[in-house]
Each structure stands twice: as structure tokens, then as C-alpha cells.
Amino acid sequence: MKLLLPFLAISLAFAFTARATEVRVEAVPENGVQPEVAIDSAGTIHLIYLKGDPKACDVRYTKRAKGARDWSAPVSVNSEPKSAVAMGTIRGAQLAVGKAGAVHVAWNGAMKPGAPMTGSPLYYARLDGMGGKFSPQRNLVGDTFGLDGGASIAADEKGEVFIAWHGKRKGDTGDETTRVVFMLKSTDNGATFAAPAVTNADYAGVCACCSLRVVALPTGGVVTLYRAARDKSQRDMTLLTSTDSATTFSHDILHPWSVNQCPMSSAALLPTAKGIRAAWETDGKIFSTLVAGAKAAPAEIASGQTKHPAVAVNTRGETLVAWDIGTGWNKGGELAWTILDANGQSTPQRGKGGAVPVWSHVAAFSEPSGDFVVLH
């Protein structure tokens, strides 16, 4: 019997470590749409979403502690009621957690009646790490115009905040092939921002109604993923990379796509221990790869009317990729997901189920247990 005990112990240990990762599907609080999540260094999950009239709605914020199941009482981010827009699905709010736990939120503003048709305002608000109310919203669009596809925001522990969006420079009378990616930078945790800077001056052209994503790295790097439009029939997923805290940028075509239309797509970026995990839609299919570190060729994750991917990584290095199926203009759908192993390879673990409301998309995060949650 004693000879069997080590074997039994090893078998039990293997059975424990081999437990399949679970995926739980949850509804967004208040029947909200376009959820976005960020997890801070303490494991607190921060969530924003939109609520109300799709043409003029509110940005709502809630959070829950590490390992908890209940969200805090939601509060409004926007100080001006009904100043966000959900129509189009890719113009909603984005958030990042920065120095001292400050929560930074940026969003495309709703067009005000009688305002000139020069694009949406670009609003920003901040909640400091002590809680309380968000700061009054500020329009940071400056003298740029033509904001259409959604903006994105990133922050780091040094107190730097970066807001990226695409639009047109003052006096630009061209089409989307002259659009550029702008970036605002703050070095004082969002208290003030420098003037907007063009990050792709040597590679102009951005798909007008597609959103982009930006992430900040502890090394001082800043990475932006967007859909270019060098000409109207070329819509390549393109990476802008800065290694000097958004001073200079280089571009890299990540995934070419020849199509003469705007797909109103979005993308996901998430720093991981092995590099930055990216996911995006091309031709109704979801692709994913590492875009920094151990860079690999894009892998097809899913196909068949797929849109709006979200990614999350757990403590075991597994990656959840979730997406919408069948959503479109004024049309809802359902969610689906799959899990990649620690090497980024597909696993048999995948599923679908759960309605995605009109004008919405999914979000995802990991729990301390290593399991995942998909919000819809």
C-alpha cells in the first residue's frame, strides 16, 4: 500500500492541475451596452458601459473587488447628461487604470443639435483612486475634426495617460485616405494634456468608421492598432509602435485586407507576459496574434459573421478570445468564445450562447481562480 501512495498523490495532483478552465457568461448591469473592463494591480475589476438612448446616452461606471461576484452601485461618468453615443457600436467609451488607481475614461461625444457637422467631441473624465465623483468632462478634440470611429485610452503607473483617435487636421479637405491618427499625452495623471500630435504623418489614411486601440507598457512603449485606408480599396490592420513614450512612431502592416468599403470594425489589445495579444476582424473572421515579444503570424480564431473581439488572459497564461456573431447596423446577435493555451494555440474549449443587444459587443476578464467571465 505504501508503494501506491506516491503514485496516488501524483495522480491527484495532476487531476487538480488539469481542471478545465471555466467560462461564465454574465449580463451587463442595468441592461447596458458596449461594456469595457480594466483590472488594476489589486485585482479590482473596473467596468464602464453605455445606458440610454443610442443617439444620446450616458457612460456608467461600476467595479467589484477581486474574487467578488457583485458590482458596486453604478455612477455616471459624464457630467453632461446624454453626451455619449452608442449608435454604430464602435464609438463607445474606453477606460484605463493608471497611477494611484486613477480611472481614466474617454468617449466619442453625442452631436449637439445645431452643431456644425465636423465630427464628434472627444470627452475625457477621471476618477482618482480615492473614489468619489468623476471630474467634469472635458472636450479634448482641439483643432482636429472628423472624429468618427471610436477613440481609445491607455495609462501607466508613472502618471502618463495617452488618448488616441483618428480624424483630420485643420484645413484638410481630403477623404479618408488623408485621415491621421492623433495622440494626446498627459504626464500628470490626466490633470493636463499636451496638444494633439500626429502619430502616422508618414503613413496617412485611416478607415473612417472603424475604431482603434492603444495600450501603454511599463517600459515606456505605446502601441496603437488601427485599420488603415491608404487608398479606398485597402483596409489593412496596422500597428503603430513607440518605444519612447509617444515621441516617435513606426508602423507595421499586421494583416492586409483588400476591400472597397468600411467594415465598421473594432480591435482588442492586451499586454501579457509573452507580448501584446491582439485580436481583430478581417472579412468576417476573427484573427489573433502576439504583436510584440514572440511575434507570430496571425491565426484565424473564428469565422462566419464575426465581429468585435475581446481578449482576456488568466494566471495560467491562457487567453480567452470572445466575439459577436451576426451583429450589424441596428441588429443584435449572440456571443461566442474560445480559449487559447499558454502557447497561444487553439484548444477544443469553445462555446457560444447569450444574446448581444443592438449596438453592443462583449467584454471579458479573468478571475483569481483562472476562470473567465464574458459580459454581454
Rounded-to-integer distance, Cα 7 and Cα 75, Å: 54
> What is the rounded average pLDDT for all residues in the chain?
91
- Residues 151-169 have a mean pLDDT of 96
Amino acid letter, residue 49: Y
Q: Are 105 and 83 contacting, i.e. CB atoms less than 8 angstroms apart?
A: no
* Domain span(s) for CATH 2.120.10.10 in the chain: 40-265
pTM of the full predicted structure?
A: 0.93
> Could you give the strand order of the β-sheet that contains 275-282, starting from the edge strand earlier in sequence?
267-272, 275-282, 285-290, 299-303
CATH number, span 40-265: 2.120.10.10
DSSP string, 30-42: GG-EEEEEEE-TT
User: What's the pLDDT at 16?
Assistant: 47
Q: Which three cell numbers stand for residue 303?
A: 469565422
| Backbone Cα Rg of the chain | 20
* Percent over 90 (pLDDT), the chain: 82
Per-residue pLDDT tens digits for 230-246:
998 999 999 999 999 99
Q: Are 306 and 288 contacting, i.e. CB atoms less than 8 angstroms apart?
A: no
User: What's the pLDDT at 293?
Assistant: 61
Per-residue pLDDT tens digits for 97-148:
999 999 999 999 997 766 665 678 999 999 987 778 999 999 999 999 999 9
